[in-house]
A and B are shown apart, each in its own frame.
Chain A
Amino acid sequence: MGKPTRDVRMSFQTMKVLETFLENPTDLLAGADVQKRSGLASGTLYPILLRLEAAGWFVSQWESVDPVAVGRPRRRLYRLTPSGLARASEVFASFARGLPA
């Protein structure tokens, strides 16, 4: 996705996704991994991932495997950007202080 275009509305589901990534900020996670850890439905999760990526919080890349060799399509892996990590940390810190993000 391109560079950040606009901010993201912070919902409970969005914070669940961010919390999942903040557990290990350097990890590359596929949508199925995030869903297992956050418990969100796929219909909710994927729009949030695309939204955060469009806002520059995440970057994504294809899994470096041969689909023929592994017998399945490649997974799309997401990772927090440095600015996304800083902003996500700021969001949770502000919530901890009781202030709006």
Chain B
Amino acid sequence: MTSEDKNALVDQADDFAARVIRHTARRAPHPLNERLEEEWLADLAERRGHWQRMGLTLGCLWATRIIAAERVAAASAPAVIAAHGSTESLTSGPSPLSRRTIVLLMIVSIHALLLYGLISGLATRVARAIITPTTVEIIHQQKIERRAVDPLVPHPDMGHTRIDTLKFDPMHFDDVAEPAIIPPGESGATTIVTVDPPPPPPAVRRIGGPGPRFPATEDFYPAASRRAAEQGMSTVRVCVDAAGKLTGDPRIAQSSGVGRLDEGALRLARAGSGYYRSTLVNGHPIADCYPVRVHFILN
């Protein structure tokens, strides 16, 4: 609805209210009718908003009825006073119309107004002004091409297939190996992963070693080596559980070059079972294998 249509609608409603007030005032008792018509039309001109004007229109209808009833009562007052000797009934004089007739007239008036609104197109304009028009927007659906992919055999167009595999390392069994890139046709029975997995959060790893109550190296220095003044360093690989106990027999990872010293290092490693400090991953102890260096040095 354009602003011109709205203005036309407002003018039409105002004109309708003025006509009702004019007609109502003319039905008031003479000589009040002319005065009330001008007075109420002046009041209507000061009203702002449709509801205020509608309220004034209905109020004028009601006021006319009250004023007419009071005039009738005042005109018949001398007869009433003469008959009863009292003015008690002046404040509530008889109405020319019964309550039932008035209600019926109001219902008929409301229906007449509705009918007038439907015939003249006023109701349609009001409905258009109140109801917001619904706008329909067509969204074109995009076609998604789906290609059948054999999960085991790489597609010829893929070129290189990215395959994520896990390398188990007894020393670093929780490490994830870098994804290997192999040419098509060599994937074997491994699982093809076409989408890169999210990178695992970096783990804080602290390798274990001899604990504070670990046996002293001097106690396992071979006596023959002391006499022969043999010195050296043996590297022993131990596998320890989360409690610091050995889970397997230690072995020499790097020899000192002296067999006796290596034997002494292995005995030391065995004697230290239960006193190892286990490897920690994110603060949690785990079973792990790590090297322990044993130094045999004469004082």
Where the two chains meet, the residues of A that have a C-beta atom closer than 8 Å to any C-beta of B are 5-6, 9, 30-32, 41-47, 50-51, 63, 72-76
Contact = CB atoms under 8 A, between A and B. Distances in A.
A74 B38 contact: yes
Given A72-B45, A76-B38, A41 B87 contact: no
A73 B38 contact: yes
Most chain A CB neighbours (cut-off 10 Å) among B46, B60, B67: B46
Given A47-B67, A47-B70, A75-B42, 17 more contacts: A6-B77, A31-B43, A32-B42, A41-B59, A42-B56, A43-B58, A43-B59, A43-B62, A43-B63, A44-B62, A44-B63, A45-B59, A46-B60, A46-B67, A50-B32, A63-B42, A75-B39
Q: Please name the 9 residue pairs, one residue from A and one from B, whose CB atoms are nearest each other, closest first.
A: A42-B59, A43-B62, A43-B59, A72-B45, A76-B39, A73-B42, A46-B63, A47-B66, A75-B42
B59 A72 contact: no
A73 B62 contact: no
Nearest to A50: B67
Given A42-B63, A47-B63, A76 B42 contact: yes
A31 B40 CA distance: 9
9 contacts: A30-B46, A44-B59, A46-B40, A46-B63, A47-B63, A47-B66, A51-B70, A72-B45, A72-B46
Contacts of A47: 63, 66-67, 70
A59 B232 CA distance: 130
Contacts of A43: 58-63, 66
Contacts, number: 71
B122 interface: no
Nearest to A36: B46
Interface string B277-295: 0000000000000000000
Nearest to A65: B42
Nearest to B56: A42
A42 B74 CA distance: 22
Contacts of B59: 41-46
A9 B32 contact: no
Given A6-B90, A51-B70, A46 B36 contact: yes
B23 interface: no
A30 B32 CA distance: 16
Interface in B47-63: 47, 55-56, 58-63
A41 B90 CA distance: 23
Contacts of A41: 55, 59, 62
A95 to B, nearest CB: 19
